[in-house]
Amino acid sequence: MPSYKQPDFKDRQKAAAAAKKAMLDKHRAAAEDPAAAEKQVARVAVIEARKVRAAEREAAKKVREAQKAEEAARAAQAAKLAEQQKREAEELAAAQEAEREEALQAEQKAARDARYAARKAAKKVRRRGY
């Protein structure tokens, strides 16, 4: 086994430096390429357009949410009004039912009183004989 290294340390250092320099030159050339600059401008335009569309969607979403909230408020108001009307109708029906019940009881009492008076009068007639 040989005790020496084939590419020694300096050779390896030179090769690494040359590779780094070649890579740097390649990237500089790519950065200075006009087509790459155009692509970058196009990317920036696409990104800006996306931001504008996202802002428009967000604004539309806020408008929809506001409309939904307004609609929900109107529906709640309508439900409240309907509940109030229903309650008033039930109160009116209950009042009419109570009136009818009161009138029926008064009529029954009058009929009962008339029967009682008729019995009393008949009893008087029986006692007096005329």
pLDDT of residue 130: 64
Do residues 95 and 102 lie in contact, with contact meaning Cβ atoms separated by under 8 Å?
no
The dihedral sign for the CA sequence 78, 84, 87, 91 = negative
pLDDT in tens, 10-65: 899 999 999 999 999 998 888 788 888 888 899 999 999 999 999 999 999 999 99
Residue 87 pLDDT grade (very low, low, confident, very high; cuts 50, 70, 90): very high
| Identity at 29, one-letter amino acid code | A
Mean pLDDT for all residues in the chain: 92
Residue 124 pLDDT grade (very low, low, confident, very high; cuts 50, 70, 90): confident
pLDDT of residue 5: 67
Q: Write b or e for each residue in 24-34: b if 16 or more Cβ atoms lie within 10 A of its Cβ, otherwise e.
A: eeeeeeeeeee
Q: Which residues, other chains included, contact 30 with Cβ-Cβ below 8 Å and sequence gap of 6+?
A: 36
The residue ranges of every structural domain in the chain are: 10-128
Q: Indicate the pTM of the whole model.
A: 0.46
CA distance 87 to 94: 10
